[in-house]
């Protein structure tokens, strides 16, 4: 009987499933950035500031940063020891239970297909800056074709495209933060130190103009902004030397991502008044249009067009990563005999093409904005995506805690782990408490409450379908039952 801590069962090799390990460290780093820096930061920040105020938004981003930092440390330990494309679903299946693993697979898939749809919507809004007469859904169709082509070829094409797209927006965020801090210094020189914090105190409502409860509710929306960082846990299953690469990726990305988000939000808060923020207009463009610098009389030339292009590139990058993650979840389900075997089939380039078809079809939820009010749809979808990722993150923390406990109990040395998450179990407790705070805070917002209830219904449905169809796909082999029983 194999030990439940045996790596061999869950480590992907080309001989086992045909997936090609063509993702390198540089790709993995940019996939982490590319998955995270998208709609939530470039577009959604304006809506957060409009509801929670500048200080409340900064607090929400700081809490979100602590949560993602804790979860990613746990994911680093699991993914380094068990580098598998199924990632979160496999870990939950192995350490929490098969039914929960099944639910996590479908939950993460749902989060990404909705998120990809949101990226389509955002691209459509931003393209109207240049082409106001062209309907949003035409740009949605264009995005669908492009993202499908980038994912349908080999994983190397996906990785290289994501590297280029993510590099563009990473450089853009660095440039925005650099320009912003120079402008802040000049702002202090002209108007005094107090001018930096002028926007933080709203005349009619103080530091928290809409109440502290709105700040708590914003945490769930902020979590949406950080969504995508964890996708490196999926990509590591198609990475060369995963046990060596994953620890490096974790160490290199976490602090930088948090710095990018908090730094950008601070600069936006300094230059963009709360009542000028909106969910459909990028605050990055608004801020760069307002910035005054002594060596740029008349402002930065073509700033709106340049930033609009960069943001569109960023959104395409996030959609690219999202479709990749969604298709790998379907593939992972089928590979583990939890779903129809056709979705485990690969094309000649090693891409799970049928899983890709299914995922991109459901991502077309963006087209429903033709019928419904865009802002209302985006807010509802963001709450669903945020809640799904909270559950997935919580499952990672729980899985890593159980894994570490059993690893030590089996007599193995922590020195032998490719990557050891520090401060266990403190980081798992922080991660779980942070997720709980986000859920509780969001419940006070009626619009987000709808998304929470909808996701809970979906979770119950997943569990129900698992037990109803448990024997249909022969999802748990005798060997796996033995291993699970050995717990």
User: Could you report the per-residue pLDDT of 421-465, keeping only the tens digit for each?
Assistant: 888 889 999 989 888 887 887 777 777 787 788 889 999 999 999
pLDDT score, position 4: 52
Instruction: Give me the torsion for CA of 213, 215, 221, 226, rounded to 10°.
Output: -140
Collapsing DSSP to helix, strand or coil, 450 comes out as: helix
Burial group, residue 37, by CB count within 10 angstroms (0-12, 13-18, 19+): buried
User: Among 239, 250, 318, 225, which residue's Cα sits nearest to residue 69?
Assistant: 250
pTM (predicted TM-score): 0.84
User: pLDDT tens digit string along 160-195?
Assistant: 998 999 889 888 888 889 988 888 888 888 888 877
For residue 85, pLDDT beyond 70: yes
Q: Please answer whether residues 267 and 184 qualify as being in contact, where contact means their C-beta atoms are separated by less than 8 angstroms.
A: yes
Are 73 and 296 a contacting pair, CB within 8 Å? no
Q: What is the pLDDT of residue 360?
A: 92
Tell me the pLDDT of the chain averaged across its residues. Answer: 81
Collapse the DSSP code of 218 into the 3-class scheme (helix H, G, I; strand E, B; otherwise coil) and give the result: helix
pLDDT at 278 > cutoff 80: no
* Average of per-residue pLDDT across 316-336: 90
* Structure confidence at residue 271 (pLDDT): 84
The answer to whether residues 155 and 131 touch, using CB atoms and an 8 Å cutoff, is no
Q: pLDDT digit string (tens) for 212-264? A: 777 877 887 787 778 888 888 888 888 877 778 888 787 777 777 778 888 89
Q: Rounded to an integer, what is the distance from CA 173 to the centroid of its chain?
A: 17
Q: What is the CB-side half-sphere exposure of residue 153 using CA atoms within 13 A?
A: 13
Give CA–CA dist 244/422, Å, rounded.
Answer: 17
230 with 10: CB under 8 angstroms? Answer: no
Omega of the bond prior to 425 within 30 degrees of 0, cis? Answer: yes
Dihedral of alpha carbons 199, 205, 206, 209, sign:
negative
pLDDT band with cut points at 50, 70 and 90 for residue 337: confident
- Give 310's pLDDT tier (boundaries 50, 70, 90): confident
pLDDT in tens, 21-69: 778 878 887 887 766 777 678 777 877 887 788 888 888 888 888 888 8
**Other CB atoms closer than 10 Å to residue 362's CB: what's the count?**
17
CB 73 within 8 A of CB 422: yes
């Amino acid at each position: 009987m194999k030990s439940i801590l045996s790596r061999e069962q869950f480590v992907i090799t080309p001989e086992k499933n045909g997936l090609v390990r063509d993702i390198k460290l540089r790709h993995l780093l940019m996939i982490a950035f590319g998955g995270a820096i998208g709609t939530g930061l470039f577009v959604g920040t304006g809506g957060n500031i409009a509801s929670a105020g500048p200080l409340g938004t900064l607090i929400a981003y700081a809490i979100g940063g602590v949560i993602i930092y804790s979860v990613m440390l746990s994911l680093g330990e699991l993914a380094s020891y068990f580098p598998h494309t199924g990632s979160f679903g496999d870990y939950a299946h192995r350490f929490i239970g098969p039914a929960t693993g099944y639910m996590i697979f479908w939950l993460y898939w749902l989060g990404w297909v909705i998120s990809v749809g949101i990226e389509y919507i955002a691209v459509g809004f931003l393209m109207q800056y240049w082409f106001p007469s062209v309907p949003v859904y035409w740009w949605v169709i264009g995005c669908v074709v492009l993202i499908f082509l980038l994912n349908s070829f080999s994983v190397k094409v996906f990785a290289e495209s994501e590297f280029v797209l993510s590099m563009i927006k990473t450089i853009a965020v660095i440039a925005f933060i650099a320009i912003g801090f120079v402008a802040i210094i000049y702002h202090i020189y002209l108007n005094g130190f107090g001018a930096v914090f002028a926007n933080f105190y709203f005349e009619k409502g103080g530091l928290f103009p809409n109440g502290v409860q709105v700040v708590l509710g914003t945490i769930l929306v902020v979590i949406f902004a950080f969504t995508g960082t964890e996708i490196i846990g999926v990509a590591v299953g198609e990475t060369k030397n995963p046990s060596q690469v994953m620890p490096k990726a974790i160490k290199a990305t976490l602090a930088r991502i948090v710095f990018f988000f908090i730094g950008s939000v601070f600069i936006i808060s300094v230059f963009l008044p709360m009542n000028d923020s909106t969910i459909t207009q990028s605050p990055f463009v608004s801020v760069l249009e307002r910035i005054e610098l002594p060596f740029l009389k008349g402002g930065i030339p073509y700033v709106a067009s340049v930033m609009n292009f960069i943001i569109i590139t960023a959104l395409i990058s996030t959609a690219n990563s999202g479709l990749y993650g969604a298709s790998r979840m379907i593939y992972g389900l089928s590979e583990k005999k939890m779903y129809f075997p056709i979705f485990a089939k690969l094309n000649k380039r090693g891409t799970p093409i049928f899983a890709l078809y299914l995922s991109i079809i459901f991502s077309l939820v963006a087209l429903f904005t033709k019928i419904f009010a865009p802002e209302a749809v985006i807010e509802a979808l963001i709450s669903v995506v945020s809640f799904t990722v909270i559950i997935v993150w919580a499952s990672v923390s729980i899985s890593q805690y159980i894994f570490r406990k059993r690893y030590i109990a089996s007599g193995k040395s922590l020195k032998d782990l490719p990557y050891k998450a520090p401060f266990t179990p403190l980081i798992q407790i922080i991660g779980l408490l942070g997720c709980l705070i986000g859920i509780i805070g969001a419940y006070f917002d009626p619009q987000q409450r709808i998304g929470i209830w909808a996701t809970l219904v979906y979770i119950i449905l997943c569990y129900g379908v698992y037990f109803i169809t448990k024997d249909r796909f022969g999802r748990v082999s005798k060997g796996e039952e033995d291993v699970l029983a050995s717990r």
